[in-house]
A and B are shown apart, each in its own frame.
Chain A
Amino acid sequence: MTGPLAHAAQLLSAACAFSLLASCGGSADAPESGPAAVVFRTSGEVSVYPLSRAVLTEVESSNPSPEEWQRILSVRVETQASGDRAVLPLLGTYTVAADTLYFRPRFPPAAGITYTARFDGAALYAQVEREPAGTLARIATATWRYDAPAGAPSTFVREVYPTADVVPMNLLRMYIEFSAPMSSGRSYEFVKLYGEDGALVKDAFFTAGDAVELWDPEHTRLTILFDPGRIKRDLKPHEELGLPLRAGKQYRLVIDSAWRDAQGRPLVRSHVKRFKVGPLDRVLVRTADWRMTAPSAETRDSLVLVFPEALDRALLTRLLTVRDSSGTRIGGAAAVSERETRWAFAPTDPWRGVSHALHVDSELEDLAGNNLKRLFDVAPGDTGAVGTNAAVVRVPFQPRR
């Protein structure tokens, strides 16, 4: 579709204000029809028309540099210093079709931003060393603001792990699980830890200068690491500041509703996770301390493990597997409950009454980062600091007949 019909369609689809070139001259360079206009389309694309086809063709074949194109037509974001020519134009591409010059921005428009397009008729003609008729040398501009359809907030904090009310003083990690994907890059502005006196606990988390945010691939779960340098003894941060959490004290982890989700909307509500701090945990994770309840053969009853302490929620989900005697993994669904002290595995198919084994990856950690291999923080004189050497610890069981 070209010509006036196309222009009409563009005008209909445009959601903008535009200004007109005041009038048209009668020379050979005059536009072929109607007054020239600068028009934004809802995609952010800008068109200027009608212009002299001959001049446009000539300009295009002169293969202008990006700078030359920008002198002819530029689109800028409006800033507080608006009208400032020092504002750099948007990245984008220029094309010519018939009597119209198009600018297609490299990126889609951003919500809440006002864009200004500026067409310089004199620069167009200067590109091909032509003299425009007086009126064609005019500057034409248009401004347009993109307002994304507003939606009500719908994302919320689904859970904060560990779910326990009491955590060890050397707690290493928390997970914040959201109901939908979140934005990233400024997370630590919205996650704060407060003591029972209401004071902010400073430097509690490892953020690497806010440069590192540990998200899952879907951006629905953020991992928060308490500063390991403050937890490990004999490191300078530990000596200077001590542990971030103090035994016997109460804390609030506050997740601010101003945090935007991936759609740019705030959270439905702020979330407060209250917890109390218990003693240090400097004990290895040992499968011998677990209570296992074997299921009955020929049923889909769950294999149940009960731990003497809460274990890391994410690692419980990933590092425990059930296998048959040949090592083949048994399909099924695992559920973690009782504040991460219980793990239950229901097989897809009924249990066979043969020997099985629970395979425990020795990287499985408790809330303080101790795993089956070693303590998170080892100091001379620590007894039982080193556990298994094996990558996997097997706990055999046989479904009951």
Chain B
Amino acid sequence: MSRGNRISMGLVVAAAVAVSIAWSWPEPSGMTVGNPAFKSLGQMAFGPGNVLFIGDNTGAQVLAVEIADQARGTGAINLAGLDAKVAQVLGVAPADLQINDLAVHPASKNVYLTVTRGAGASAVPVLLRVTRNAERPIEEVPLTNVKYSTAAITNAPADDPSARRNPRTSTITDIAFADGQVWVAGLSNEEFASSFRRFSFPFGKTMETSTLEIYHVSHRASETRSPVTSFTIQQINGKKYVVAGYTCTPIVAFDVAGLVPGKHVVGRTVAELGAGNTPTDLVPFKRDGKDVIMVVNNRRPLMRIDASDVATGQALTTPEVAGIARATLEQPTGITQMAELDATYVVVVQRGANGLDLKSIAKSAL
């Protein structure tokens, strides 16, 4: 769901500056060179040092890989017929692949895609990048002989040695990096529980799990069992917030400073987006000098909310009230994924009459 680069605006700028000066990021320690084992490639987020965090749902882990992409691209990046083109280089029919997530490399500004080629037993997870090279716009990013480390997403304990297998899985719905930590939201295929995990990076042995409560709109009864489907971490007016979209459609703000392990933290529901819809992506960026968050919805148009409203919005108390102001965009339509590209553009996957297109759209147009 989260589609896109989850690094905060501040970090994007910081990374770009550091790279342009002297490659001065410290080596991320705890990584080894080799061939990481993984079973699937899903949600992604770039962190500093060109480290890409990838959720491996089937392997129940987060993979951190250093991606040394030497390109230095600037400006818009577009690829019409994205799904058809990806199918061509992978040698399959477009119906036989899935584009899982998209992220922008902080230095090269190439667009990274996690893709599944085929389905079922023969499915192969692939990491690709879309470049500005018109003759060969899609390359594979090999995950062999790379600098990497992994963190297991522990499942419910299976302490029954006679159990053939543990059928419980946790699907990573979104992943983000901020302040030296990887944040992971997940959805279980069994119990209906909210899981929001933080791993320190470099990966250590500990994993912190937070339970993020939200108020049940209308009667302020707290509600702990709604999983987060997309989120972003953003600095607003000097304070850091987790802004989360839930399975039950509300957009909720949490003060990061209050997220102490083992403690229930109650967030403010600042917007309700309505029925039959899931906010699949929350993409923060600066537009006309103002911090905004674009909400990509699967059944409703794009919506833009002001970050400052998220910081100050009153907790909703009735479902009749939709919450903080949002601009509903009639155009562009069919956006399924979005990530910030640079100071000027976001990059989106847009569904049109002939399949999917990768497009850069000026932030000023959103």
Contacts and interface: CB of A to CB of B under 8 A. Distances in A.
Contacts of A315: 190-191
Given A212-B171, A263-B121, A110 B248 contact: no
A4 interface: no
Chain A interface SS verdict (over half): loop
A261 B120 contact: yes
Contacts of A225: 192
A249 interface: no
B24 interface: no
B190 A380 contact: no
A239 B272 CA distance: 12
A211 B162 CA distance: 34
A107 B160 contact: no
A279 to B, nearest CB: 20
B275 A318 contact: no
Nearest to B92: A110
A181 B275 CA distance: 33
Interface in A346-382: 348, 363, 365, 369, 371, 374, 376, 378-380
A275 B162 CA distance: 34
A227 B87 CA distance: 32
Nearest to B298: A209
Contacts of B11: none
Interface in B278-313: 278, 280, 298-299
A43 to B, nearest CB: 12
A216 B57 CA distance: 10
A206 interface: yes
A49 B256 CA distance: 64
B280 A263 contact: no
Nearest to A110: B92
Contacts of B27: none
Given A181-B120, A260-B119, A237 B274 contact: yes
Contacts of A219: 120-121
Interface string B139-155: 11000000000000000
B136 A216 contact: no
Contact of A208 (B156, B188, B278): B278
A262 B162 contact: no
B116 A185 contact: yes
B274 A378 contact: no
A137 interface: no
Nearest to A224: B189
Given A236-B249, A376-B225, A329 B173 contact: no
B166 interface: yes
Contacts of B330: none
A312 B320 CA distance: 33
Given A228-B226, A237-B277, 5 more contacts: A184-B123, A217-B169, A218-B165, A234-B218, A236-B217
17 contacts: A44-B91, A76-B88, A90-B91, A109-B91, A110-B92, A113-B91, A208-B278, A211-B1, A216-B167, A232-B223, A235-B249, A236-B275, A240-B275, A241-B275, A260-B119, A318-B166, A379-B216
